[in-house]
Amino acid sequence: MKKFATTLILIILFVSILMMSACSGGADTAEVDLDFDGLGSMPNAQAIAKATPVDSSKVKLCSEETTDPEVLSSIIYLISLANQNNVECDFYAAAAFGTGEAKIKFGKDHIVGSMDTREWRVYDNGEYFFDSYGLVVEGHTVKEDGSTGKVSNAILSALSMVLNFTKRVYSPDCQTFYTSKEGETKSNTLTLYPSLDAVKYKKPKSTVETFDEYIDTNFYRNDFREFSSDDLSEDLNPITSGFITYDSEKGVYYLECTVNCEEPAVLDLSTQSMYKSAGTEIFAYVEKQLKIEIWECGLIKNYINTNVWEATLLPTSLKLSGSSDNFYEQRFTYNKDDLEVINVPDDIKQSMMSSTKKK
């Protein structure tokens, strides 16, 4: 699943520009606003009634980071409950942004590249729409003495042509999924977020997939409405440390935790996604941290994922190594009446369904 993270492709492509570093400027990261359309607001009565609420007897609170098995079990319970509630709810809208910085070391020097991503989705009683895009925003060199240099605009432009991506998905019934990936982006695409005008699809030429095909090709574990594809089976010890607090006035559980990166099965789908994107299997997550807010009714309010990975690039004889630091934040609303900015016209849906091609 292509989440909000710079992929290994970024590092691999930087190999080709290592000896071409110049001294002209790069782009600035655009600000993002996740406060529109009531994101993070309390779910309405209908959404609360449909959800399975948190059973407080299954939650052991702790205000400091701990490895207490009862607290870790509570964290697994809360994430799993919210994940399932998201799958079973009648309506939700979510918006997210991500940032990633990838670094490659060749000899004594590094080249660093940054990418920003934007995403929003709406699920409404069996109808689904997803919009996602990412752009390269900066590149620079770092020498052994710590001094930095800039990457030429020509190189940044070439990288953008290869790395910038768009993806738009529509399903009228959650059985057939239409996906378009050839949208046009401009320099202000990030600042236009979350408007549908941020990316133009003149001729979508959508590919068509069944539910199972869509799940498999996008590396979801069970359902596309899940916010987490990690394997949280207790026997895998998926959480190594964390804490949980509860705000009784707001009715919100807050948790922070560290995901077990030593057990391959926990992050297997995320890793498979990287393999597919990068074509290298010498790759590992070094760290993954989660910060999650969950309403006492069991629905998720906010999800933040920060992770670090490292890789050795093939062929190993070149002794090229890379790493990336990534951030992803997603906020949710379950109140359809709040939906104003994220609103998909019927002509866009019809265009995606009528402009199909074989995969």
Backbone angles phi, psi at 341, to 5 degrees: -65, -45
Predicted pLDDT of residue 27: 41
Predicted pLDDT of residue 103: 77
Q: pTM for the complete prediction?
A: 0.88
Predicted pLDDT of residue 319: 54
Counting residues of the chain whose pLDDT is more than 90, the rounded percentage is: 62
Residues 6+ apart with CB under 8 A from 312: 280, 282, 320, 321, 322
Q: How confident is the model at residue 9 (pLDDT cuts 50, 70, 90)?
A: very low
Least confident of 9-13, 24-28, 161-165, 203-207: 24-28
Residue of 244, 218, 213 whose CA lies nearest to 81: 244
Q: What average pLDDT score do residues 54-62 get? A: 98
Q: Provide DSSP, 19-78.
A: GG--S---PPPPP----GGGTTPPP-HHHHHHSPPP-GGG---EEEEE--HHHHHHHHHH
Question: For strand 165-171 and strand 300-313, is the pairing parallel, antiparallel, or unpaired?
Answer: unpaired
Neighbours of 174 (CB within 10 A): 16
Say whether 263 sits in a helix, a strand or coil: coil
Q: How confident is the model at residue 15 (pLDDT cuts 50, 70, 90)?
A: very low
Backbone angles phi, psi at 352, to 5 degrees: -65, -40
- Give the residues across from 328 on adjacent strands: 98, 305
Counting residues of the chain whose pLDDT is more than 70, the rounded percentage is: 81
Q: E strand or H helix at 211, and its extent? A: helix 211-217
pLDDT, one tens digit per residue, over 264-312 is 999 999 888 776 655 455 667 889 999 999 999 999 999 999 998 876 6
Rounded Cα gap, residues 332 and 301, in angstroms: 5
pLDDT, one tens digit per residue, over 94-113 is 999 999 887 777 667 777 77
* Cβ(94)–Cβ(340) below 8 Å: no
